[in-house]
Amino acid sequence: MSNNYFNSLSLREQLEQLGKCRFMHLAEFTDGVAALKGKKMVVIGCGAQGLNQGLNLRDSGLDVSYTLRAEAIADKRQSWKNATENGFTVGTYEELIPTADVVLNLTPDKQHTAVVNAVMPLMKKGACLSYSHGFNIVEEGMKVRDDLTVIMVAPKCPGSEVRAEYVRGFGVPTLIAVHEDNDPNGEGLALAKAYAVGTGGHKAGVLMSSFIAEVKSDLMGEQTILCGMLQTGSLLCFDKMIEEGIDAGYASKLIQYGWETVTEALKYGGVTNMMDRLSNPAKIKAFDLAEEMKDIMRPLYNKHQDDIMTGKFSETMMADWANDDKELLGWRADTAESAYEKTAAADVEISEQEYFDNGILMVAMVKAGVELAFETMTSAGIIADSAYYESLHETPLIANTIARKKLYEMNSTISDTAEYGCYLYNHACVPLLGDFMKNIKSDVIGAGMQLNHTGVDNARLIEVNEAIRSHPVEAIGATLRGHMSDMKKIV
Amino acid sequence: MPLTASISLKNVTVEFDQGFICNKINWTIQPDQHWLVCGSNGSGKSALAAILTGAGDIESGVIRGLPRRIGVVSFEAQSELIEAERRKDDADIMDVIAEGTPVAEIISAVCKDQSLADELCQKFGLVPLLDRAFRKLSTGETRKVMLIRALTCNPQLLILDEPFEGLDVDSLSALQQHLAAVSESIPVVIVLNRLDQCPDFITHVAYVNDGELTHQVKRADTEAYQQLHQLLHLKTADLSIPPADPDTSIPALDPAQPLVRVTGAAIRYGDVVIFDQLDWTINAGQHWQLSGPNGSGKTALLSLITGDHPQCYVNDIFVFGFIRGSGESIWQIKQFIGYVSTALQWEYTVGTNLRNVIISGFYDSIGLYSKYTDHQRDIADQWLAVLGMESRADQPFTSQSYGDQRLLLIARAMVKHPPLLILDEPCLGLDDMNRQRVLALIELICQRSTTTVLYVNHHADDKISGIEHYLALENNHPV
């Protein structure tokens, strides 16, 4: 039944859609929530995203109610409790959808086809259907009724943060898009902007993108650098440390919290700042390791991007959905059996700086993964802004999940598309880096370089710094982080 | 096993996070002594007591004789436990709403004497809450849980930082009786802001100033004790309120309408009714005091008015010209309100400086996300001068002492001269001197015709002279 929408477009149209991504100016939101004022918004699903977005929209003066499946209401399930305890009207699809001016589909991707097929016949003429992810439209080729407007509003943070930031008087960065085939009245952009204002997103920065750019960049980022590289890196680094005689509990802790610590530096000042946290000899070492890994892994990143573009990836994954997630659940179970996953973090103190000093290889892996994902996306026609958000910007979020949950739970909590894709990556990348890892010793992972003097050659240091700072991800990163801090006065 | 040898600190210098230092402390606690530690906000009195719990890095000197099991109660320990519970909440990544650890488990995790725990739960009225999630408790209730943990861990030493704060009258007297009894076998160190609450069993008083233990006084030495009392009661200098900002004016309200009218209000969680059938009208210029025991729904009632409680949309609430749920935004409501509470202080964890915290009051935000005017900056600086903090304008808010943070948040609430100022236990955690300053400031505000004050407190002695209307919540009903 699936009918890849992207593949139905001409190359010209594909490139045009992929190239859409623009940071919107605050002045573009002066109409506030006016476009949604007095309209009836009905949310499908009341998990963390559904509930918290609804709370924000209501506090912005909008009319919000929730629709759940009849069983969820009859059994008074958690989603029903979430909505009713917060004073929202709850009703079945049949009761509420026909009254809705805007339907907010905030269910998981996998349910989209069933949900949209169920609600579409009930929606009134000229209403709006909103998504928070474009997979259903782009990869599954969902055809939405011609009279309906289709938009996407995707806050780039977990639901609880969407609420917490709103209550503070701020918001979270948000991506919006209009599905141009479904914008019969030309009101899609106005609705998406008002929705973003209603959740507070306009204060933190809104990116105007397209369904296609969102899907193709999101899939690429999540399966390579974000979930894939951190997973592969965790397994390889742990096994190497054990081989080198590092205490297993220490190794486990260095990895579990190391990604979070080094990518925190990335969040504030890009790859440059992350590398600057290393001593000069360590920085040069990390640079060389990253260059070597980039050469080895480049064909793999290209393959992932190619499979995403052609639709081969989503086809393979949807076949597994149809097969009750057999592959996915099997691979997930394997993660639980890895030596890293089974070794608890020791109760030893590791200082913030020590995570850098003893995790040189991890820093190199983050650098290689971020730069490769960015390079691959931009060379495939995705604009630099999108590529930045889906690579560097989100890496600290996944690293934070590993710090709290390690790999098995990380895999269980990320989206189903991210999880399936990152297993494919991991299965290919571990053997690919096999020969490279043979030459790795504890000086770059586990023990630190332990140098008596930290002198380096001036010319070489200048060369390395220049190469780090002149990478294109650093230029766009500086610009976008600049926008953010203009808005959020972090003083 | 009771403590037999003394605890001694010899020339001890301890550095805490944020660079605060307790300098060259010499202090001996004999097994039969009970100490009261006092000092102004930010003096380091809590830090001194915290040294005994192993907090901070010892730079020099020697500590001897610390027992293994110490029962600790403090705002810091309380907020640490709440923070730990919050970290356990994976709702954000699991996409489920987590409940958190139940109270009974929080207690049993450290309890060595279950029958004592049962008895104290009874006396503190915690029995109906044992199955509730710890982080859903009110401020006063979490405090009681902390006390029970400290008292039932079979301690050899008790360190209680402001143990009486936020307790209702019944729980307070139960605690005082219990402490009087245990003080016969265990040395007790109490940090207190009010000397008038000093329990009878206290034998010694320590006065801390600027990180140094400057006075050690025997309780029996009446003259020295009196001097110390005066030192703490330093009368405040002339206080005047900085002006409002003419450029960010709040829309005018219809003088014929009340500020707030709540009709037949109820708050329910599942089958549990916090209160119902509550009618309340607040007219402009009528200052109100709201009281009631822990958990009676005082804060919930306030949050119906401020719009922070989601059930405000299913109640009949009229505020500042809006019937709630008629298409108004929360920011249209908040512009009329200045608000201070302990919960706000716990939520105000964003990294920003003192001046910006005060300016954020103009925007009703936690943290500052808007470009402010020079005029607003001037007003904020005037407030800092009133608080005696002008030299610290650029320091991080989160590195200030608990009491100083509270004073700043009160200034933040008052900065825009709101039509309604809500002060939810504004003196909780403040020392005598700052309490006097805050109360004087509130009285000044009460005398102004433009701001109506709604004041919530436990302490009967914190009376405000301008307040003439009272609402008490008890047994789920107004009385």
Q: What is the mean pLDDT of residues A296-324?
A: 95
Asked if B214 contacts B228 with a C-beta cutoff of 8 angstroms, the reply is no
Residues B407, B409, B410, CA angle at the centre, nearest 5°?
Answer: 65
> Do B7-232 and B260-478 come out as alike in CATH topology?
yes
- Average per-residue pLDDT for chain A: 93
Residue with tokens 């890095």: B57
Smallest CA–CA distance, residue A295 to chain B, in Å, is 34
Nearest to A52 by CA among A222, A177, A201: A201
> What was the pLDDT predicted at B234?
43
- Average per-residue pLDDT for chain B: 85
Nearest to A424 by CA among A232, A261, A140: A232
Nearest residue on chain A to B307, judged by CA atoms?
Answer: A59
- Cβ pair A86:B352 closer than 8 A: no
Identity of the highest mean pLDDT range in A44-53, A91-100, B115-124, B388-397: A91-100
> What was the pLDDT predicted at B401?
77
> What is the pLDDT confidence band of residue A447, given thresholds at 50, 70 and 90?
very high
Q: What is the mean pLDDT of residues A292-320?
A: 96
- pLDDT value at A95 more than 80: yes
**Higher model confidence: residue B435 or residue A287?**
A287
Report pLDDT digits (tens) over A217-260: 999 999 999 999 999 999 999 999 999 999 999 999 999 999 99
> What was the pLDDT predicted at B397?
92
Smallest CA–CA distance, residue A205 to chain B, in Å, is 12
List the domain boundaries for chain B: 7-232, 260-478
The CB density around residue A452, as the number of other CB atoms within 10 Å, is: 5
| Phi, psi dihedrals of residue A344, rounded to the nearest 5° | -75, 150
Q: Which residues in chain A have Cβ-Cβ distances shorter than 8 Å to B312?
A: 87
> What was the pLDDT predicted at B346?
85
Q: Could you tell me what percent of chain A has a pLDDT over 70?
A: 98
- pLDDT value at A167 more than 90: yes
- CB–CB contacts below 8 A, A to B: 95
Is B307 an 8 Å CB contact of chain A? Answer: yes
Report pLDDT digits (tens) over A377-391: 999 999 999 899 899
> What was the pLDDT predicted at A412?
81
DSSP state of A9: S
Question: How far, in Å, CA of A217 to CA of A225, rounded?
Answer: 12
> What is the pLDDT confidence band of residue A31, given thresholds at 50, 70 and 90?
very high
Q: Compute the Cα dihedral for B203, B207, B211, B213 and give only its sign.
A: negative
Distances (CA, A) of A480 to A154, A393, A429, A484: 18, 10, 31, 6
Is B304 an 8 Å CB contact of chain A? Answer: no
Helix residue ranges, H only, B91-221: 91-94, 103-108, 114-123, 139-152, 169-182
Report pLDDT digits (tens) over A201-219: 999 889 999 999 999 999 9
- pLDDT value at B269 more than 90: no
> What was the pLDDT predicted at A88?
96
Residues 6+ apart with CB under 8 A from B479: B472, B473
Q: Which of A63, A78, A490 sits opposite B96 (nearest CB)?
A: A78
> What was the pLDDT predicted at B54?
84
Question: How far, in Å, CA of A261 to CA of B30, rounded?
Answer: 45
Least confident of B40-54, B232-246, B247-261, B393-407: B232-246
Question: How far, in Å, CA of B59 to CA of B177, rounded?
Answer: 39
Q: Both tokens of residue B196?
A: 């008038």
- Cβ pair A168:B366 closer than 8 A: yes
**Class of the domain covering B7-232:** alpha beta
Report pLDDT digits (tens) over B154-169: 899 999 998 888 788 8
Which domains are delineated in chain A? 21-209 (3.40.50.720), 213-487 (1.10.1040.10)
> What is the pLDDT confidence band of residue B220, given thresholds at 50, 70 and 90?
confident
Q: Which residues in chain B have Cβ-Cβ distances shorter than 8 Å to A394?
A: none
**Higher model confidence: residue B418 or residue B83?**
B418
Nearest residue on chain A to B372, judged by CA atoms?
Answer: A489
> What was the pLDDT predicted at B235?
33
- pLDDT value at A491 more than 60: no
Q: What is the mean pLDDT of residues B53-60?
A: 87
Q: What is the mean pLDDT of residues A95-117?
A: 94
Smallest CA–CA distance, residue B365 to chain A, in Å, is 5
Q: Compute the Cα dihedral for A4, A5, A8, A9 and give only its sign.
A: negative
**Higher model confidence: residue B473 or residue A98?**
A98
Q: Which of B95, B330, B356 sits opposite A48 (nearest CB)?
A: B95
> What was the pLDDT predicted at B389?
81
> What was the pLDDT predicted at A315?
94
Residue with tokens 């488990």: B105
Nearest to A7 by CA among A319, A380, A313, A310: A310
Report pLDDT digits (tens) over B431-468: 665 666 677 677 777 776 588 989 988 765 566 777 88
Smallest CA–CA distance, residue B95 to chain A, in Å, is 5
Domain B260-478 carries which CATH code? 3.40.50.300
Q: What is the mean pLDDT of residues B32-46?
A: 86
ipTM above 0.90, yes or no: no
Q: What is the mean pLDDT of residues B53-69?
A: 88
Give catalytic residue positions of A: 133
- pLDDT value at B106 more than 80: yes
Report pLDDT digits (tens) over A396-442: 988 988 998 899 888 887 888 899 999 999 999 999 999 999 999 99
- Cβ pair B367:A60 closer than 8 A: no
Q: Compute the Cα dihedral for A163, A168, A173, A175 and give only its sign.
A: positive
- pLDDT value at B263 more than 60: yes
- pLDDT value at B149 more than 70: yes
> Which residues 344-363 on chain B approach chain A with CB closer than 8 angstroms?
347, 350-353, 356, 360, 363
Distances (CA, A) of A27 to A190, A336, A488, B24: 14, 49, 16, 57
Q: Could you tell me what percent of chain B has a pLDDT over 70?
A: 89
- pLDDT value at B253 more than 80: yes
> What is the pLDDT confidence band of residue A1, given thresholds at 50, 70 and 90?
very low
